[in-house]
A and B are shown apart, each in its own frame.
Chain A
């Protein structure tokens, strides 16, 4: 019990869910009302520096009064014409470090080749939200970034018009050059920077933003700003951090979460080659911060890693997890026979719908726990000195990391300085900062710079897993073959018996809620002591598999075309909550469904053993439909030939980055559903490395064909919403090819291989 309670009262787990779940629309509206632009002068090198401030206006004003204004993001145009743009959010592979500056550069009419991008420092008071999660970065910053670029452009144009003595509306801009159209005179931004800096900053309300037809950069394919460094192997990632006099550390925790160190063979470990010290840390009993363990400090990563093979720890597991996945599955199967103990939604009258139905169908769907497994294992570097600490962290939530470290070390947050590094994959894992806290505590003991390096085995044993789950579904079809009633008993997990675990919640609004009259969602919860957390497209990544597969089952039962029946349930084009980008718009849904089907050749005759499968899902403000084209042979060997993706997230900022995210989401979804599963017995995760957690390899990678509908709705993020439709599209295609219905993931459970 204790192990589950510990997670129930963990403040960071709840905060992180808020972080990724907060209403996209609210974020957008709130930040727009806070915009502030300021001009900075007196910087070395001269030129125009324009700050745009996304935090609290009162902080901006007080800083302005004291002359200490620090912008959260800014652009500097130097006299030599170079343009520096700061990016404030962590780069985890989602491409934000390229997309943000593109938005600024578009309205600035900058020559992209002149643009250089740097990561901004971390400071919440000054910079507002700095995090990578929930596909929220673009929606919450779109307007400010455009206005910042437009403000600088307006100042450059004013400077040119004054020099030439002509009205501003006779001047145009392109490629970092202002042109007086009538005379053909030109001045570059570099030539104008100095005089533009002496002009007042225009009121954001007076700025003319470009019409979409005038975009030169937004919507194009732009290669990532760090790509040259990546392909030449330059230091960029957390793991690449090297400091003078740096030592290395490993940290061993109990394989069952919550175990404490009774004793260990410290003397033996200290005597091993290259080992400088070995000691236990007590921790603060918070799984997202610091749990008990043994630190080994040495003069190289290998010295600490090889010393670990000799480490013997006597663990006290009286308050550790004893979870058993096989036991939980059995309990869930028992519960599936009844209605859930808690009613989450109850619209219309499902009983009546079921009674009056032409047909009813029932099915039980389940999916396993999975790990994030980013390719860069957790690591962090820290240097504790003079009562303060400096940290180099690959974290998706750097601001929270500062709070976590301050809490663990009992020092004020002002004494924690954090530098963000590029991150070798996150998928939600690095929303939590346990490894940052661990190195902070070790750094205080050793007093010199220290890099903590987790092994792959550490990473797989100590994740905040995507929780597994179960859906007992029942639905009815009326005499015309229309869906008339839907009931879902969702069996999930809880740490405290009151609320579901992180990543295992239902928030309502999941398909087909809102699309039919009679709908009921109930919930039961099994007690869990294994840590869980958000994983790419939290909740939707798993629910979509169950509900979009089941809806296809209904189409089959009704003898109807799946495409037609999916369009039917979307019905008249309407926004289920007008103006809220976080809510389904059936018109946008229907358009992506039609586009995916058309591009994939829906309805074409296919040879035996081959099939197309369709699915749609709305999540994280993105409308996505996908069609999978698969073959299955007599031994259940699966080949995925192609996946067609159609999405609507409003205007696309970087077409290359956007397509890359969709391709990646399809690969991630496929990789996960094929054979990935985390199981626990006696509180221990049974998979240790990639041989037991077989991520998909290039030889099984399908062709992914991505199409966007660039509607005029506000742009929203792309890190997540292309993932959920993939699993049901594949399963529906398998059904079309074979007549076999997959209701349990991963596919390897049903004997499928690739």
Chain B
């Protein structure tokens, strides 16, 4: 039987999704379900002076209106509200806690009614009076007050001095605005009141056990009384890593009424959750005339809220990608009257590498050196930040294969030198880098006598393909056809898994499945040995494999016993194993994924209309478990990178401290017409050091580098360098 791992296996949950069989958080029902409508603040900072809900309460069908004045009890201590992903420092937001307003669109009331329409109508009748205070939502207005957070990577040498002494220098700032995730599915929670204080919580989340622990600690519940389910998600992208306020509100409603409650955010309310923080990236890079990198300073100044310190690694990537003897990395945070930012696809890297790789391009221009050449000149075979080798780094191959597939050698380096009719043609490139993280995770396998296996784990599949790769891994590890594997995910009662994020789930969960399958094999072998004249009587555990529904000797396939025979003989109808897998603590090697992104843009010279006509993304990410779902991840990342480069921007009116494009008609993401040819290459990257399977994960790497590659291509086409995203046509109109 051929291995499933590494093949383009189609999604095992595809059918359930397109037929509507897959149920999402807002689709679960319960007798007497109550509907909650959320009311949010219109000011950015201050206090609720008066909140009169009497008119709303008088509406027929309204059961209650919860506010900070009458809500059920919830924990006071910050610690109780800190979920697994909460920033270390700060006091997490808790809805309806008190009269304080910390950001515009903060939830201030929950209207509970028999029907959704009644709740929504009654929500319009609330009479709220605020005591406003002066707010600040503009990063540029606050940047001087930004404070330094723990440095992401150690400085080396003397970057400012080396920069000053460099023969060729480039220094500038790049800006990324606030961006929102805009998943298709709205955040929603259906809390089913099971009686006796027990709750089943259907929540849109990337981590059911994280939400389970959060609900228990915030509402003082026993772990066995709260079960959280999120089997399918209509897009998470990091927005669902932390428990969002819909789940706290739905639980509050259920506790207040002792009934089942559903809360669904509106699209506009989605803009009151977390987001990619606006960030100013300041880069200073210096080289000698031949292009040898001497100095690199990367300082990032990012938004956080008044109540939590959220920061990710924007700087430091230059020390992972390149060899510069003098480096300095600084990360600052500016506090604004906004909600706390959160993770969004490749947090830190998507923004930081945009700055870094734009600056590298500008340096290449100043050096009159090919941008790929510049990167190869300072190519680093070691992670310079930690001074250690990589488990693997095939970035050189990414440059080579990407450039060849793209036709990079035909590029005329002169800006505005290439054209196609009325359009200027620009070719740009950038490197990408992300971490290859892995976490402890557990899995359960139930193998039945008919050769069917149920594989389960609390992990969420946020649409990335976790169901599918775990089915492939289990099928190979158990020697069964994939049709015989059922995967169950996204339930807090299943074996422990981390939140789904950081691209760590593929490595983490697949090794849990392998480890558990090994236990199944050990038990099968023990049982096989008890059979009279067993052909495996003296086989050792390391000598046998599971294949074709049998356990067999690695050395002699004729020495085999079928699973059915073993079960029949032992009188068992199933084998159940559960095992937690942990990766050995080893910081001797750096673990990273890499990419090289090549982009062609065509820009109408007179009208400024920008089209991204070709993208080649060459990715080195260890062993690819499923070439189809992995390529889809990269394509999705590239599409998002196009959006980040050309379209996405959450627009604030700082006078009101309010987001003005809180809907997906006005918040632009790319549409089909914006997407042309995208080619994904996975370069071969065997990695025996990182983990047993050599897997690294591909969720985030696809977006990293794309915005810079596009910005660089826009420069090459037009001669205009745009340093603030998004690159809209008015910025390139000559």
Q: Does B associate with A? A: no
